[in-house]
């Protein structure tokens, strides 16, 4: 069987399954073969029913009691089977799988694996995997990530089958002087790609040269505060790049509230004074609107024309804005990814800033810098990652760090509580509303289903409006709303016309309402710590004491430890470091959010040493052969090109 063979030609893969796999980027036998397990399940460890842990995956052996029963609600069916062992019983529930009713032979032991959850007040194991215990016992089985609706059993069968069929066919692409395997190779390709991109960025391109003038220090005086030294230093670093004649590609890292907007605005002002245009791209409409207002406030009376490219413009308005951008009448252009669409033509674009960059990929950054003549690129992010790692992850960027918060920031009191505190918290919120202070509530996240997520926000809000917070102005906002509506709500929250804003995580990035002092987060255990830290950063922006309240429904030790970290630390770098240690890098370093190809096996945290080696090796390779022209590097060249197919590599 050939590695490049399309999966559709495999005996156990039909049209439907192939479509699913294609959707995950799996097209060939090789793709399937390199869909590596996330972890292995050691089935020699099983627990008794009485020891099942809520909200966790449990593996246990049990028999089924009689036939199951099926309930139909709307167009869903729920099939419930009672499982028992000598210590107790529990229900297993499957959705839309009526055949589960008769799936089990009586008095026969099966091994089950699934999450124990509380649904409508009842405990149940949701859609557990199962296998006859005599087959399943004492085996170590792979667990695949991103299963996409196919059971683990199917994955094991598909991949087990091709491992057998492709025996002896995997080809070595690393040259002989450099032999390591999977993790190393993966990191090597990552690093090599980044370095080749960097070469492209620097290659023979002349950067727009700006004149150093005193406008920077003049503009800094227009803020109602003095810039911190960290802000000043970063501004200097950026200024230096932009007067040197190279094309700037710089990442500015600064914790939530470190004042990145003021830095961006100062540099934008300077660039515009040099006669150029500046574009600022942000991940959400809400944030774009907020930045727009702030920039208008600061720029308009200085004669700088500021425009917003937003989804809520009418066709006519949009046309007008595009016209202003093309003619050069507009100096400062803000927006979401609308800014990089094809229809936007700039007249004299010199600087592109992306805020909260972790939401954008490398690719979009590339699309931006294709606008105009090699504009400078400034990327701002609050995702705090250790510097060494940042250097590697953003191998194609220079890095500046704002490592200081403005003075007199009040500490935000962070409290993690169990749901039983909810009534008391509502009381606390009312007390603050009576004093004219506002609250954010972040609703439980419902994974993988936006519709249900919206449902949940709506019903949560309704319940507050009708019960606990009846006399208060409670409004909800969520990602599925029209952008105009979202903006109106955010505006009235900002004006103090709403006491409590219930939201999904749309407010996560960048929002600045100094009068909001309480951040209540439901199901805090489901969020990454870096995300909790971002959310917390929405309060503590004014002169009043602020609070972050985390409702933790996670019972396990790690959930508690993670809440503890949030209570003890307010330093984004410490928090992300701890999150990594406690949770592993999977989610936080989901490389996708950094715009890198997804890692299949390398672990950016655990395999840091190999990552460093791979980085030096990639540098070494390019020293020997700058554009991979040697015959011994031919296979490598093909691999790296395939991996980074949409990027401009200097080969």
Residue 432 binding ligand ADP, by CB under 6 A? no
Closest contact distance (angstroms) between CB of 553 and ligand ADP is: 29
Instruction: Find the shortest distance in angstroms from Cβ 410 to ligand ADP.
Output: 12
Residue 227 near which of Mg ion, ligand ADP, none (CB within 5-8 Å, type-dependent)? ligand ADP
**Minimal distance, residue 264 CB to Mg ion, in Å:** 8
Look at residue 228 and give the partner it binds from Mg ion, ligand ADP, none, a contact being a CB closer than 5 to 8 Å depending on partner kind.
ligand ADP
Residue 238 contact, options Mg ion, ligand ADP, none, Cβ 5-8 Å cut-off depending on partner type = none
* Contacts within 8 Å (CB) and 24+ apart, 321-328: 325/277, 328/277
Distant-in-sequence, close-in-space partners of 341: CB < 8 Å, separation ≥ 6 = none
606 Cβ neighbours under 8 A, 6+ residues apart: 584, 585
Touching Mg ion, residues 252-291 (CB under 5 A): 260
- Closest to ligand ADP by CB, 277 vs 290, is 290
Q: Which of 363, 356, 413 is nearest to 384 (CA)?
A: 356
* C-beta of 68 vs 510, nearer to ligand ADP: 510
Burial class (CB in 10 A: 0-12, 13-18, 19+), 631: exposed
What are the two backbone dihedrals, phi and then psi, of residue 551, each rounded to the nearest 5 degrees? -90, 115
Piece in contact with Mg ion (CB under 5 A), picked from 191-199, 276-284, 312-320, 502-510: 502-510
Q: Which residue is nearest to ligand ADP (CB)?
A: 259
| Residue whose pair of structure tokens reads 């029913």 in the numeric block | 49
- Contacts (Cβ under 8 Å, ≥6 apart) of 57: 113, 114, 115
Contact segment (CB under 6 A) with ligand ADP among 21-29, 35-43, 63-71, 252-260 equals 252-260
Report the distance separating Cα 575 and Cα 269, nearest Å: 34
- Choose between 52 and 234: whose C-beta lies nearer to ligand ADP: 234
Which of 235, 262, 516, 621 is the binder for ligand ADP (CB under 6 A)?
262
Can you tell me which of 35, 198, 260, 486 binds ligand ADP, judged by CB under 6 A? 260
Count residues binding ligand ADP (CB under 6 A). Answer: 17
Token pair 């004491």 is found at 545
Q: Does 254 bind ligand ADP (CB under 6 A)?
A: yes
Minimum CB separation of residue 405 from ligand ADP in Å reads: 8
Nearer to ligand ADP, 253 or 273 (CB): 253
C-alpha–C-alpha distance, residues 358 and 369, integer Å: 17
* Contacting residue, 79, 258, 570, 615, with ligand ADP by CB under 6 A: 258
CB of 230 to Mg ion, least distance (A): 15
Q: Within positions 56 to 115, which residues make up the interface with ligand ADP, using CB under 6 A?
A: none
CB 576 within 8 A of CB 529: yes
Least distance to ligand ADP from the beta carbon of 344, Å?
Answer: 24
- Which span sits near ligand ADP by CB under 6 A: 26-34, 125-133, 165-173, 257-265? 257-265
Quick check: 303 and 275 in contact, CB under 8 A?
Answer: no
Which two structure tokens, joined as six digits, stand for 625? 């052969």
Collapsing DSSP states into helix, strand and coil, what is residue 51? Answer: helix
Instruction: Enter the DSSP assignment of 171.
Output: P
By beta-carbon proximity to ligand ADP, the closer residue of 58 and 576 is: 576
Minimum CB separation of residue 622 from ligand ADP in Å reads: 35
What is the per-residue DSSP string for 610-633? HHHHHHHHHHHHHHH-TT--SGGG
Long-range contacts of 580-583 (CB under 8 A, 24+ apart): 580/605, 582/558, 583/528, 583/529, 583/558
Q: CA-to-CA distance for 94 and 126, rounded, in angstroms?
A: 6
User: Does position 510 bind Mg ion by CB under 5 A?
Assistant: yes
When the beta carbons of 228 and 354 are compared against ligand ADP, the nearer one is: 228
Q: Which of 390, 399, 337 minimizes the C-alpha distance to 594?
A: 390
- Site residues for ligand ADP, 175-234, by CB under 6 A, read 225, 227-228, 231
Residues 293 and 306 sit within 8 Å (Cβ to Cβ): no
Nearest-approach distance from CB 269 to ligand ADP, in angstroms: 15
Tell me which residue of 308, 310, 285 sits closest to 477, measured CA to CA: 285
CB of 534 to Mg ion, least distance (A): 10
| Cα separation values, 277 from 208, 243, 301, 330, 592, Å | 12, 16, 17, 7, 30
Q: Tell the smallest beta-carbon distance from residue 295 to ligand ADP (Å).
A: 12
The stretch among 68-76, 249-257, 368-376, 593-601 that binds ligand ADP (CB under 6 A) is 249-257
Q: Which does 257 bind (CB under 5 to 8 A by kind): Mg ion, ligand ADP, none?
A: ligand ADP
Specify the stretch interacting with ligand ADP by CB under 6 A; choose among 121-129, 193-201, 258-266, 362-370.
Answer: 258-266
8 A C-beta contact, residue 557 and residue 241: no
Contact between 25 and 51 (Cβ < 8 Å): no
Nearer to Mg ion, 260 or 376 (CB): 260
Contact with ligand ADP (CB under 6 A) among 68, 114, 207, 259: 259
- Compare residues 274 and 306 and give the one whose CB is closer to ligand ADP: 306
Q: How many residues bind Mg ion (CB under 5 A)?
A: 2
Query: DSSP strand E in 257-386: where?
Result: 277-281, 306-309, 332-335, 349-354, 376-381
1 secondary structure, DSSP code: -
Question: Which residue has the CB atom at the shortest distance from Mg ion?
Answer: 510
Smallest distance from Mg ion to CB 353, Å: 11
| Residue number with CB closer to ligand ADP (228 or 271) | 228
Q: Kindly state the tokens that stand for 7.
A: 């999966």
**Footprint (CB under 6 A) of ligand ADP, residues 531-570:** 541
DSSP 96-164: S-GGGGG---TT--EEEEEEEEEETTEEEEEEEEEEEHHHHTT-EEEE-S--TT--HHHHHHHHHHHHH
- Among 256, 304, 339, 578, which residue sits at the site for ligand ADP (rule: CB under 6 A)? 256
The residues in 378-407 that bind ligand ADP, with binding defined as CB under 6 A, are 382, 406
Q: How far is the CB of 378 from Mg ion (least distance, A)?
A: 13
490 binds ligand ADP (CB under 6 A): no
* Chain residues in the site for Mg ion (CB under 5 A): 260, 510
* Chain residues in the site for ligand ADP (CB under 6 A): 225, 227-228, 231, 254, 256-262, 382, 406, 510, 512, 541
């Amino acid at each position: 069987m050939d590695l490049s063979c399309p999966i559709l030609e495999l005996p156990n893969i039909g049209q439907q399954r192939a479509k699913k796999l294609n959707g995950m980027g799996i097209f060939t036998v090789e793709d399937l073969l390199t869909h590596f397990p996330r972890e292995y399940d050691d089935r020699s460890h099983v627990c008794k029913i009485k020891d099942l842990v809520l909200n966790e995956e449990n593996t246990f052996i049990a028999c089924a009691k009689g036939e199951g029963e099926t309930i139909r609600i709307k167009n869903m069916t729920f099939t419930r089977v009672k499982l028992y062992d000598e210590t107790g019983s529990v229900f297993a529930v499957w959705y839309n799988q009526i055949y589960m009713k008769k799936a089990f032979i009586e008095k026969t032991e099966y091994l089950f694996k699934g999450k124990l959850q509380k649904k409508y007040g009842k405990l149940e194991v949701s859609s557990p995997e199962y296998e006859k215990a005599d087959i399943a016992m004492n085996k170590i089985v792979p667990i695949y990530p991103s299963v996409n609706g196919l059971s683990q059993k199917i994955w094991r069968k598909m991949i087990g089958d091709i491992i057998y069929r492709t025996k002896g066919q995997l080809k070595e692409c690393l040259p002989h002087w450099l032999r390591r395997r999977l993790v190393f190779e993966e990191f090597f390709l990552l690093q090599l790609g980044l370095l080749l991109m960097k070469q492209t960025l620097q290659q023979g391109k002349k950067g727009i040269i700006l004149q150093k003038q005193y406008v920077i220090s003049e503009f800094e005086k227009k803020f109602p505060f003095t810039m911190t030294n960290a802000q000043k230093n970063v501004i200097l670093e950026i200024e230096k790049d932009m007067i040197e004649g190279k094309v700037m590609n710089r990442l500015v890292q600064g914790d939530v509230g470190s004042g990145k907007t003021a830095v961006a605005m100062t540099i934008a002002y300077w660039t515009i004074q040099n006669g150029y245009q500046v574009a600022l791209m942000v991940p959400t409409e809400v944030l774009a609107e907020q930045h727009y207002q702030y920039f208008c406030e600061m720029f308009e009376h200085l004669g700088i024309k500021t425009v917003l490219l937003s989804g809520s413009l009418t066709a006519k308005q949009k046309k007008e804005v595009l016209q202003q951008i093309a003619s050069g009448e507009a100096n400062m252009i803000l927006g979401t990814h609308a800014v990089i669409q094809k229809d936007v033509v700039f007249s004299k674009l010199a600087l592109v800033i992306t805020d909260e960059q972790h939401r954008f990929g490398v690719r979009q950054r590339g699309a931006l810098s294709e606008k105009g003549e090699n504009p400078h690129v400034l990327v701002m992010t609050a995702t705090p990652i250790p510097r060494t790692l940042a250097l590697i992850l953003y191998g194609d960027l220079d890095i500046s760090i704002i490592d200081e918060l403005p003075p007199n920031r009040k500490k935000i009191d962070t409290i993690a509580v169990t749901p039983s505190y909810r009534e008391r918290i509502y009381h606390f919120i009312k007390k603050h509303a009576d004093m004219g202070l506002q609250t954010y509530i972040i609703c439980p996240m419902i994974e993988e289903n936006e519709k249900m997520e919206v449902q949940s926000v709506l019903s949560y809000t309704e319940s507050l409006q009708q019960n606990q917070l009846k006399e208060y102005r409670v409004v909800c906002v969520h990602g599925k709303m029209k952008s105009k509506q979202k903006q109106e709500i955010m505006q009235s929250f900002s004006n103090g016309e709403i006491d409590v804003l219930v939201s999904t995580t749309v407010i996560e990035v960048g929002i600045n309402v100094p009068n909001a002092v309480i951040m209540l987060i439901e199901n805090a255990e489901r969020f990454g710590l870096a995300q909790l830290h971002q959310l917390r950063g929405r309060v503590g922006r004014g002169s009043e004491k602020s609070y972050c309240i985390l409702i933790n429904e996670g019972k396990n030790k790690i959930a508690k430890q993670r809440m503890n970290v949030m209570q003890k630390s307010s330093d984004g770098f410490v928090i992300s470091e701890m999150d990594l240690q406690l949770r592993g890098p999977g989610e936080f370093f989901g490389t996708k959010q950094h715009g890198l190809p997804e890692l299949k096996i390398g672990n950016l945290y655990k395999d840091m040493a190999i990552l460093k080696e791979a980085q030096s090796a990639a540098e070494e390779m390019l020293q020997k052969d700058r554009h991979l022209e040697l015959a011994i590097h031919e296979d490598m060249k093909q691999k790296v090109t395939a991996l980074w197919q949409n990027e401009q590599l200097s080969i």
